[in-house]
Structure 1
Amino acid sequence: MLKRKIEKDIMHWISNSEKALLVYGVRQAGKTFIIRKCLEAAGCDYIEFNLIQQPEIVNILDTATGIDDLILKLSLYSNKKIVPGKTFFFFDEIQRYKEIVTKIKFLVEDRRFRYIMSGSLLGIEIVNLKSAPVGYLQTLNMYPLDFEEFLQIFNVNQPLLNTLSNAYVSKTPVDEIIHSKIMDMFNIYLIIGGMPAAVEKYRTTGSIDDVMDEHRAIIEQYKLDFTQYEAENRKLGITRIFELIPAQLNEKNKRFIVADINKNLRYDRIADSFIWLWKAGVALGVFNTTEPTVPLLLNEKSSLFKMFLSDVGLLTTIYGKACKLKIVNKEKDINKGAVYENFVAQELHAHGYPLYYYSSKKYGELDFVIENEGQVLPIEVKSGKDYDRHSALDNVLSIEEYGIKEAYVLTNDNVKIKDKRTYLPIYMVMFLQNNPIGFIDISVDRFAL
């Protein structure tokens, strides 16, 4: 059975919070499954409503004259006993009725019941809401399985993960047998990805064809979302952007070129379509920063960016089965740069880092720059043997006013240190963690376009 890091946070909420909980994130990340699993593991008495499959619930929520009226109607509809102080209400697919987020304040204030909600596309749907339930709502963003979660699914035990973590912290080489095993698992992750349905399909059948079928179904659902949830005049734009991502990543600098959509198109005319994809969690934006100094946000040039898919398995499925086979067989005649960088972007995003890259005509380009423990940390991603060739990184490290103390170069090889450069196996990016994922009180303004 799939086990996720987010379970700890949901269980903590069940035991310790009187606020409502909202679990949001990209479609097919496994939100519904994990919420049910946690409620059942905690022995909670809960009633589940799906606002897509049960549109009558939307009408009940919209027309109820008060809390007592709402609880009565939900009880009658569910035909289940509702017990004050014990019953949890679980509202799934809440993007179909975004106003529930503003109503939750009054339900929480009533204090008789507990409320948990989940949904996808909430960055798109929860907009223009004037009343924000500050102090009444806690949120968790759920992502596809990261590499560490993937390893645990396939029986890489905690002692072994601790060994790897210790090697990362101490910057000492990993035993070569262990390193080789984890690199094999890394290559498998590149072709399976972290979408729970695809991971479970591979775990139970071992069939790459079945995994690719799952990926294709997810991609088709995304494309349906593009037409269902966005304004009519943007539908084709969003679909076209999404379809261009794999090809754009195969270019040398991987930066998304808006003119490839239409040579006469300017970014500011289609910016909302890019924001749609980022807010929906379907794609990840990595933004240009003109100076590798803290805070990176101050030097962000938001019209220059790279775009990655939210799941590397989806990317390799789009590239095709031949690509997957070459990755697993470790063939050399394949450019894995795009796939490796997508993996790194996905890991950093899931671990709480805003994503940036640095580009300068004078000094060159760095694949990623992040703020880690108050310092700028450049990250170069190298998929080949010449990983010690990185002129842009050397240039940036030589500039005193930047004050960069350390840089990571992620490679296929073992741990090695040379001056300010730390060479790490690419899988060790799983140990980079920004602030631990936890609960925050937010305004729904966070989701506004």
Structure 2
Amino acid sequence: MERLAMKRLVAWKESPYRKPLIVKGVRQVGKTWLLKEFGRRHYDNIAYFNFDENPEYRDFFISTKDVSRIIPNLAMAGGQEINPGKTLIIFDEVQDCPEVLNSLKYFCENAPEYHVASAGSLLGITLAKPSSFPVGKVEFLTVYPMTFQEFLIATGSMNLAAYLDQIDEIAPLPEAFFNPLAEKLKMYFVTGGMPEVVSRWVETQSVGQIQSVLQDIINAYERDFMKHPETKEYPKLARIWNSMPSQLARENKKFLYNVVKEGARAREYEDALEWLVNAALVYKIFRINSPGLPMSGYEDLSAFKIYLADVGVLRRLAKLDPVAFREGNRLFTEFKGALTENFVLQSLIPQFDASPHYWSRINPSYEVDFVVQRENDIIPIEVKSDTNIKSRSLKKYAETFAAQTKLRVRFSMNNLRLDDGVLNIPLFMVDQADRLMGLALRGKIES
């Protein structure tokens, strides 16, 4: 299958300022496969070292920091030739190997001719500790679940993917494209973007197989909870994780600790929640009081929403049967559109430098699902899971912050159009959101 992150890896390889690379991402998102496939396509050979399967390799990094000694030892132990610029060196499962991570500093400073990439499950937790990696001596690449665009390519709909890529004006899509894209999106809500799930669907066309692989992934995540250094945190992690469908099924999706457990307090559970965030299992989206730059300066740290890294995992965790995809737009609207919001968020995050936020007001109640920063523009986004597009909150936001609001965006199952300052984007075009916003803003300036 084709991953868009491959282009980022090629740019890393060709950069004259290349540094050792650390690849991050939730477990089973395809980090190792991506690095191996990149090495297969763009290098003479790969030197692969897995520090979970071969913990003895760590000794080479403990005994010396001299790269000229480390490389021959690795080459002999692994029986693999390592040549500068021609071999991709992959250090895998390095999350428990501080010596290996620290060695990247010496590869950067003393042996930049070697191309080194590191990855590992739960690596984000390790990197959350400031002493775990050499600041300024490495580059980072985050691998996300497969986008809907990648799903189209993987499932043989290259024509639909190519069509979406070439759209260069804000105008309705013909039904010949709109309808099959809408149907494909339903299937994506069933599979999600975890590569093994998509691959199994392509191979078998079996919903039962999808269910089984997703459950295996969820089980693997839950086993990871036991790797928290504090044993007492394990039940808390499990409670937060299992509360996710209930949190998102609420009308107001603000995260509440008493949904996790009756009487629960923030101070009891905030460390466990932060572990899930660092493990890339969930996204934490803060409320803003008003749209200003930088948005982080306007955050209300006491109010936030939590979403899962993948819509397919959320659907399976919520035990929503895939049969729903045959019932009109039910998958999009199920438990108050939570799947749709999760899908939109996971698609927006890779497109924008700053993390999305949300805006809300009480008495009377208004809430805009997401607010993103695009260059120096702050853009409110509302997510509608069907064709009903009444947007009282989006309208209130525009009235309240008229001077800061050049464009409003709505995702729905309606066609692409720009109407009275509101850009309606079909849900299946969320991967093109950044580009479409740019087209809409340029159109407003030119007009």
- The TM-score, its normalising length taken from structure 2, stands at 0.89
Q: Take 2:323 and 2:197, find their aligned partners in 1: how far apart are those partners?
A: 17
Change (3 A) 1:349 1:26: same
Q: In the alignment, what sits opposite 2:438?
A: none
Moved more, 328-337 or 256-265: 328-337
Give 5+ residue unaligned stretches, structure 1: 435-449
Q: Is the 8 A contact 2:425 2:433 kept in 1?
A: no
Q: Deviations over 1:210-267 (max 9, x none)?
A: 0111111111111111111342221111111111001111111122111122333322
Secondary structure (helix, strand or coil) at the match of 1:243 reads: helix
Q: Is the 8 A contact 1:21 1:137 kept in 2?
A: yes
Q: Deviations over 1:280-328 (max 9, x none)?
A: 1101112111113333211111221111110101111123353x21134
Q: Deviations over 1:424-443 (max 9, x none)?
A: 21122211239xxxxxxxxx
Equivalent position amino acid for 2:103 in 1 = K
Q: In the alignment, what sits opposite 1:115?
A: 116
Q: Deviations over 1:358-413 (max 9, x none)?
A: 110146111111112321211111123422x2211111112255531221111112
Q: In the alignment, what sits opposite 1:56?
A: 56
Q: Is the 8 A contact 1:146 1:350 kept in 2?
A: no
Secondary structure (helix, strand or coil) at the match of 2:425 reads: strand
Pick from 349, 366, 369 the counterpart of residue 368 of structure 2: 366
Q: Is the 8 A contact 1:284 1:308 kept in 2?
A: yes
Q: Is the 8 A contact 2:246 2:259 kept in 1?
A: no
Q: Take 1:339 and 1:43, find their aligned partners in 2: how far apart are those partners?
A: 40
Q: Deviations over 1:105-128 (max 9, x none)?
A: 112333253311112222211354
Q: Take 1:64 and 1:110, find their aligned partners in 2: how far apart are those partners?
A: 14
Equivalent position amino acid for 1:379 in 2 = I
Q: Take 1:261 and 1:319, find their aligned partners in 2: how far apart are those partners?
A: 15
Deviation at 1:129, TM superposition (A): 4.4
Pick from 318, 324, 327 the counterpart of residue 326 of structure 1: 324
Change (3 A) 1:229 1:69: farther
Q: Is the 8 A contact 1:379 1:410 kept in 2?
A: yes
Q: In the alignment, what sits opposite 1:430?
A: 431
Q: Is the 8 A contact 1:370 1:378 kept in 2?
A: yes
Deviation at 1:329, TM superposition (A): 3.0
Equivalent position amino acid for 2:327 in 1 = N
CA RMSD, Structure 1 to Structure 2 (Å): 2.2
Moved more, 331-340 or 137-146: 331-340
Moved more, 285-294 or 324-333: 324-333
Q: In the alignment, what sits opposite 1:102?
A: 102
Q: Is the 8 A contact 2:43 2:88 kept in 1?
A: no
Q: In the alignment, what sits opposite 1:406?
A: 407
Q: Take 1:248 and 1:131, find their aligned partners in 2: how far apart are those partners?
A: 33
Q: Is the 8 A contact 1:409 1:422 kept in 2?
A: yes
Q: Take 1:249 and 1:266, find their aligned partners in 2: how far apart are those partners?
A: 19
Equivalent position amino acid for 1:32 in 2 = T
Equivalent position amino acid for 1:55 in 2 = P
Change (3 A) 1:274 1:83: same
Q: Take 1:426 and 1:46, find their aligned partners in 2: how far apart are those partners?
A: 39
Deviation at 1:135, TM superposition (A): 4.5
Bigger relative contact order, structure 1 or 2 (CA pairs below 8 A, ≥6 apart)? 1
Q: Is the 8 A contact 2:23 2:143 kept in 1?
A: yes
Q: How does 1:25-424 map to 2 (within 5 A)?
A: 25-64=25-64, 66-84=66-84, 86-111=86-111, 113-130=114-131, 133-157=134-158, 160-161=160-161, 163-165=163-165, 167=167, 169-320=168-319, 322=321, 324-330=322-328, 332=330, 334-335=334-335, 337-352=337-352, 353-361=354-362, 362=364, 364-387=366-389, 389-424=390-425
Secondary structure (helix, strand or coil) at the match of 2:406 reads: coil
Q: Is the 8 A contact 1:363 1:395 kept in 2?
A: no
Moved more, 396-405 or 48-57: 396-405
Give 5+ residue unaligned stretches, structure 2: 436-447
Deviation at 1:38, TM superposition (A): 1.0
Q: Is the 8 A contact 2:239 2:261 kept in 1?
A: no
Deviation at 1:138, TM superposition (A): 1.5
- The TM-score, its normalising length taken from structure 1, stands at 0.89
Q: Is the 8 A contact 1:108 1:114 kept in 2?
A: no
Deviation at 1:177, TM superposition (A): 1.8
Change (3 A) 1:140 1:68: same
Equivalent position amino acid for 1:247 in 2 = S
Q: % of aligned pairs identical?
A: 28
